[in-house]
Structures are given as structure tokens and as C-alpha cells.
């Protein structure tokens, strides 16, 4: 990955809908704010708290996550459509 996100940001690649049926997670279109599933390609070092301490993210490279799509910024790297998100856009980690 040629990009190192800054602060509390991360870069994800969306996992196509069909793949989700394998792990059972389907994201209904009707949902007001349609969440999306994707793979984490890179994470930032985290924000500094009030005492200047770095707060690492709760997700790491390789995690599969569920996130609200409308917070991110779209980019394309070597033909791949990616999304730059903030950690607060991530709802949950897919563990199973």
C-alpha cells in the first residue's frame, strides 16, 4: 500500500455484496445510512489525546470492518477504488 493514512484515518477496500453471503452479513438497501463491508489496507498512527499521547486505532491492517460509507473520501490507487475513512466511521469488526 503506497499510502500512509494520517492521524485516526484508515484506508479500506470495499468487499463486493455477493461475498457477504458467505459470512452472512447482508446490508439492506433500505437502511437510512447504508453500512458497507470492507478490508483495511492501512491505518494511521492515531490522534494525540489532550496530554499529547498517541491513541492507536482499534482496527489494524487486514481487519474486515463494517462502516458507514458516507463519511469517507474516494480515491483510486493503481486502478483499485479505495476509501479514506476516519475511525469514527467504523461501526464494527467482522470477527467470524
Minimal distance in Å, beta carbon 50 to a second copy? 5
Minimal distance in Å, beta carbon 62 to a second copy? 15
Per CB under 8 A, does 60 bind a second copy?
Answer: no
Q: How far is CA 81 from the centre of its chain?
A: 13
Per CB under 8 A, does 40 bind a second copy?
Answer: no
Per-residue burial over 36-51, b if 16 or more Cβ lie within 10 Å, else e, is bbbebbbbbebbeeee
Nearest alpha-carbon partner for 63 in 26, 91, 35, 28:
91
Minimal distance in Å, beta carbon 67 to a second copy? 9
**Degrees to nearest 5, angle at CA 19 with 79 and 38:** 55
Q: Report the chain's C-alpha Rg in angstroms.
A: 14
Per CB under 8 A, does 62 bind a second copy?
Answer: no
Interacting residues with a second copy (CB under 8 A): 1-7, 9, 11, 23-28, 30-33, 35, 42, 44-45, 48-53, 55, 58-59, 65-66, 68, 73-79, 81, 84, 87-88, 90-96
Amino acid at each position: 500500500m503506497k499510502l500512509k493514512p494520517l492521524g485516526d484515518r484508515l484506508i479500506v477496500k470495499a468487499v463486493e455484496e455477493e461475498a457477504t453471503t458467505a459470512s452472512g452479513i447482508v446490508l439492506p438497501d433500505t437502511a437510512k445510512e447504508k453500512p458497507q463491508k470492507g478490508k483495511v489496507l492501512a491505518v494511521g498512527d492515531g490522534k494525540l489525546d489532550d496530554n499529547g499521547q498517541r491513541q492507536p486505532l482499534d482496527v489494524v491492517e487486514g481487519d474486515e470492518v463494517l462502516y458507514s460509507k458516507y463519511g469517507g473520501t474516494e480515491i483510486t490507487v493503481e486502478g483499485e477504488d479505495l476509501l479514506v475513512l476516519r475511525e469514527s466511521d467504523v461501526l464494527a469488526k467482522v470477527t467470524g
